[in-house]
A and B are shown apart, each in its own frame.
Chain A
Amino acid sequence: MNILEVKDLCKTYIVNKRQNNVLKNINFAIGEGEMVAVMGPSGSGKSTLLYAVSGMDDVTAGDVNFCGKNIAGMGERELADLRLDEMGFIFQQMYMLKNLTILDNIILPATQSKKQREPRRETARRGQDFMRRLGIIDIADNDINEVSGGQLQRACICRSMMNNPKMIFADEPTGALNRASSDEVMEELVKLNSEGTTIMLVTHDVKVAAKCTRVMYIVDGNIKGEFDLSDCSTQIRERERTLNNWLLELGW
């Protein structure tokens, strides 16, 4: 069953009276439990696509069905509720509110959600559970400037999971991390996916994309090709090599 269906999606910006078609008639679907990577050269429209299908940015034309509901026509308030309760977000810059501790940042979405009514203490306990699972419980009371980038990105993963979202959208989640931290973060995302969470992520990194079940390659606002990795070898090096070959064929 598809959790996300995108039909004839177009996104146009007008800059200095010039029309810039960033996304052109995009069509794709993501099934429940999938982990899909979007790749492409800089300026190809990867992030724009992610923000458009997650309801963060409006679309110029087309339909975006999330769990059967077309979010293209939704109002600001409905979209906010949808993002809060049904979606999780991870950004490259590891944005957090700087006046809150790591734990408070993590539990913030849960305190706003009406989906799970629970005492604040219970929310904090769940936040701590996530942190424990991701190995960052010892930084719960730290400020955001006191921890490493890898720890911070894992904290962002915890935050994205607080409301048990149906799908996580990640915009280059390892883009600002070193290799070791990047591996740790991806390990957590793969684990979440194996537990049933659908993930759509944007990346430049073949090593990251190789851990996904499917890869979409986008160039100039068009999906140039899709590559299914679910049947590939479980050996990560083998998957990377296969993916690399496919990307080279597409002009990567």
Chain B
Amino acid sequence: MYLQILKKDLKRKRAMNVILLVFIILASMFMSSGVSNIITVTNALDSYFEMADVPDYFAMSENKSNHKDICRTLENASAIDEFRIEEFVSMSQSNITRADEPLNASNLSQKLVLQSDRSLGINYFLDDESILKSVPKGKIYAARFTEKNMGLKAGDKITVEIEGVSREFTFAGGFKDAVLGSELMGIKRFIINSEDFDEYMSNETIKNMYGGKFMSIHTDDLDKTLSQIADISDSFTIANGTEILDQAYIFDMIIMGLILAVSIILIIISFAVLRFTIAFTLSEEFREIGVMKAIGIRNIKIRGLYLTKYFAISVVGAGIGLILSYPFGKMLINYSSESIIIDISNNGFVNAACAVLVAAVILLFCLGCTGRVSKMSPIDAVRNGQTGERFRKKSVMSLGRSRLGTTAFIAANDIVSSPKRYAVITFTFFLCMSLLIMLSNVTASLKSGKLLKYFGMADCHAVTDIGDEAMKFMAEDGHKRVEKYLEDMEQTLAENGMPAECMTEYYIYTMIRYGEYESKTAILQGTGTTMDMYEYLEGTPPQNSGEIAVTTLLAKKLGAEIGDTVTLSYPTGETAEFIITALYQSMVNQGISVRVHTDCDINYIAASGSPGTQIKFTDGPDDKEVLSRIEKIKELYPKFSSVKTAGETVKDNTGVGDAIDAVKKMSAVLTVILAALITVLMERSFIAKEQAEIALMKAIGIRNAKIYGQYTLRFFIAVAAAVLLAELLGMPLTKLCFDPVFRIMGLEMGVEYMQNSVEIYAVFPVIVLTATAVSAFLTSLYTRKIKSSDTASIE
């Protein structure tokens, strides 16, 4: 008999059953792909590091500032299990040419190094995810980031010329570099054959001035290792443990975090909608349940009947959802980082378990809903069912007193009379809309010049990469040379009708001590700037060369406060004492840096680099004029690797603006699809339940067009409320969700977010509301099938 009843039920209530099935498919698909992605993403970095054999400690030393025997010290350190040394030659973009043209990379803040395939420190992965073992003579591989930025293609002929030593290579492809692959690490490698490499190193100038070593150290006791190599570590220009490497991938992790957020939102949406649909479809059954109870069928048998039906639908839905979850999950994960290898092959079981979970949850919902019916008397069940009767007052609006048009009134009244029903829609769309707004805010911020301050730079209009020149200032009298260079530049710009202040920053990595605490830190020193051009959180800017500003993170690490005296040990062996006068925040060196006075006399021989030369026009040009001046500067200084606006510089420094933009666009498309699906399915279920009312409205002479209007308007109002709510809470939610991410990067106080007003207040609301209105309207056309004479036949 069960089978008979089920067959009849599936036929008779086809519309509601199909709607339920579609929602189960969606829930299963979102849940399976979402959880699978969450697991993949949270383990991605660990799994990637393991595959790449990333060392426990990684350091870089340059020959010009280190004359100690690194190899011997490492060999003598008993705490080191294994170490590898990769020799390199520093270079800049202007050293590399393709068909006699310099290769212009858009990201100027990356230092380039050339190294050999001899004793590779880690596993480098090629495009097909195989490991790079050796490089044939005459070939060259580049880090994926460089390949993309320079627009290199396999087969390109590349010439690398350093200090008169020139060789031509054929570009063989890109590789993924787990240690230096992220944008934040600031160094990108080229790998060539060891024999080719030796030709460069045979030149003494190259070896002494541009040469250096990367050290990959494997150890179980990092603290002991560090104490055993303390003799050479002061000269390291970069030294990181794995936790720093984790942080270096923070921008990549932002993308993965977003994929995670999208997955979680999809799971929440699917369960909210599913819960609603099951309760809604089961309320359709109340009357029949009542009848069965009235004729004496026992509760357990009645519940069994519905559980069987929902079990059958959920098994079919979960099965289809499971199959769809694989391509859908892959599509989502494809938006995540290009610099990490993500292993998604082992999550088949997770997908299947999630699909089973969805089916189980559906049965639990069903059990809960039918359980409520079990407690009712037959009459209660009948009355709570299809008659639509209820036992508490619902109408809160009055047509007689309302100024709204009748259609708008009925639509609004329906919403306030059944708030729970529409709250599901508002909540669902609020989540989608909030995600879009948050993504828009972050994208706008990561492309705004106002974020330049977080990269340790003063406010400016343009940033240039001066190429080789920057290396020339890394000398004992570098600071003075920089000052002269900037003065000349200001003069040239003024002579060409572009009055400007030129300035630059240099970074030196060294040790800082306060009492018993010490830390590796970056020293930032500006040239051409004044100390009040930087932003401080607390205190007063350093007034003389004996004063210093430190980041809040470093102050915490050292336990130091404003007024305390700290000691800096330069890589050259000298030390100097400074009084802390201010606290600030910056992403440089993951938030661990100090800013010394512009007059402070520092030996630039150990300087590790400069983020570029900044130009601030003093005659207040508008954006258009700035762009035209940038073109002019490119003509004046053809050797500059790049000249860009402050916004472009921030975008390139973070490197994820475009990727977040891609996730944002994907989320927008997903939102439109979800909006259409949820609207169509929910409205269709409302229509199925309200057939009698629709027939009545038609019988008393209400035109079809007005009924379409009413049904469209109900969804439009519910979604408009969601949009409004998301607009109001968009910025606080962005701060809540993204400040912790920026905090990891050293910005303890969070970021001043930018807004793309056109996107937030026009584009997104319009696309979401249009998708809803169009879907609701098209679905409402179904009411055409309900005739006024159906008043006679609808139960």
**A97 and B696: CB pair below 8 A?**
yes
Interface string of A98-130 (1 = CB under 8 A from B): 111101100111011100000011011001000
A117 → chain B closest CB, angstroms: 14
Q: Is A205 at the interface (CB under 8 A from chain B)? A: no
Interface string of A50-79 (1 = CB under 8 A from B): 010000110000000000000000001100
**A112 and B393: CB pair below 8 A?**
no
Within 8 A of B (CB), among A178-218: none
A47 closest partner in B (C-beta): B792
B403 closest partner in A (C-beta): A120
Interface size class of A (residues with CB under 8 A): 35 or more
Q: Is B395 at the interface (CB under 8 A from chain A)? A: yes
A156 → chain B closest CB, angstroms: 10
The total of Cβ contacts below 8 Å across the A-B interface reads 119
Size of B's binding interface in residues, CB under 8 A = 37
Q: Is A242 at the interface (CB under 8 A from chain B)? A: no
How far is A77 from B702 in the complex, measured between Cα atoms in Å? 9
| Of A2-10, A27-35, A83-91, A226-234, the one touching chain B | A83-91
Q: Is A239 at the interface (CB under 8 A from chain B)? A: no
B159 → chain A closest CB, angstroms: 78
Q: Is A235 at the interface (CB under 8 A from chain B)? A: no
Give every chain B residue within 8 A of A111 (Cβ-Cβ).
399, 406
**B789 and A123: CB pair below 8 A?**
no
How far is A95 from B389 in the complex, measured between Cα atoms in Å? 12
Give every chain B residue within 8 A of A103 (Cβ-Cβ).
398-400
| Of B203-211, B323-331, B411-419, the one touching chain A | B411-419
Within 8 A of A (CB), among B688-737: 692-693, 695-704, 706
A127 → chain B closest CB, angstroms: 7
**A56 and B398: CB pair below 8 A?**
no
A83 → chain B closest CB, angstroms: 4
**B792 and A120: CB pair below 8 A?**
no
Q: Is B348 at the interface (CB under 8 A from chain A)? A: no
Point out the residue from B393, B700, B706 that lies within 8 Å of A89, measured CB to CB. Answer: B700
Within 8 A of A (CB), among B669-698: 692-693, 695-698
Q: Is B402 at the interface (CB under 8 A from chain A)? A: yes
How far is A146 from B696 in the complex, measured between Cα atoms in Å? 20
**A121 and B400: CB pair below 8 A?**
yes
Residue from the set B390, B400, B702, B791 with the largest chain A CB neighbour count within 10 Å:
B400
Give every chain B residue within 8 A of A124 (Cβ-Cβ).
399-401
Q: Is A240 at the interface (CB under 8 A from chain B)? A: no
How far is A97 from B690 in the complex, measured between Cα atoms in Å? 9
**B791 and A91: CB pair below 8 A?**
yes
Interface string of A30-51 (1 = CB under 8 A from B): 0000000000000000010001
Point out the residue from A95, A120, A121, A171 that lies within 8 Å of B693, measured CB to CB. Answer: A95
Give every chain A residue within 8 A of B410 (Cβ-Cβ).
97, 99-100
**B792 and A84: CB pair below 8 A?**
no
Point out the residue from A76, A95, A104 that lies within 8 Å of B791, measured CB to CB. Answer: A95
Q: Interface residues of A: mostly helix, strand, loop or mixed?
A: helix
Q: Is A236 at the interface (CB under 8 A from chain B)? A: no
Say yes or no: A127-B400 contact (C-beta < 8 A), given A80-B702, A99-B394.
yes
**B700 and A108: CB pair below 8 A?**
yes
**A112 and B692: CB pair below 8 A?**
no
Q: Is A238 at the interface (CB under 8 A from chain B)? A: no
**B789 and A104: CB pair below 8 A?**
no
Give every chain B residue within 8 A of A177 (Cβ-Cβ).
none
**A101 and B398: CB pair below 8 A?**
yes
How far is A111 from B403 in the complex, measured between Cα atoms in Å? 11
Q: Is B391 at the interface (CB under 8 A from chain A)? A: yes
Q: Is B788 at the interface (CB under 8 A from chain A)? A: yes
A121 → chain B closest CB, angstroms: 7
**B693 and A97: CB pair below 8 A?**
yes
Q: Is B136 at the interface (CB under 8 A from chain A)? A: no
How far is A98 from B686 in the complex, measured between Cα atoms in Å? 14
Give every chain B residue within 8 A of A154 (Cβ-Cβ).
none
How far is A84 from B406 in the complex, measured between Cα atoms in Å? 14
A44 → chain B closest CB, angstroms: 14
Give every chain A residue within 8 A of B693 (Cβ-Cβ).
95, 97-98
**A99 and B703: CB pair below 8 A?**
no
How far is A146 from B391 in the complex, measured between Cα atoms in Å? 8
Point out the residue from A96, A112, A143 that lies within 8 Å of B702, measured CB to CB. Answer: A112
Point out the residue from A87, A104, A108 that lies within 8 Å of B395, measured CB to CB. Answer: A104
**A83 and B699: CB pair below 8 A?**
yes
How far is A123 from B391 in the complex, measured between Cα atoms in Å? 29
A16 → chain B closest CB, angstroms: 14
Interchain Cβ contacts under 8 Å between A and B, 15 examples: A51-B792, A57-B788, A93-B791, A95-B692, A96-B696, A98-B389, A103-B398, A108-B399, A108-B700, A108-B702, A120-B403, A121-B400, A124-B400, A143-B393, A145-B390
- The 3 closest A-B CB pairs, nearest first, are A84-B701, A124-B400, A83-B701
Known: A95-B696, A120-B401, A121-B401. 5 other contacts (CB 8 A): A97-B410, A97-B696, A99-B413, A108-B700, A145-B391
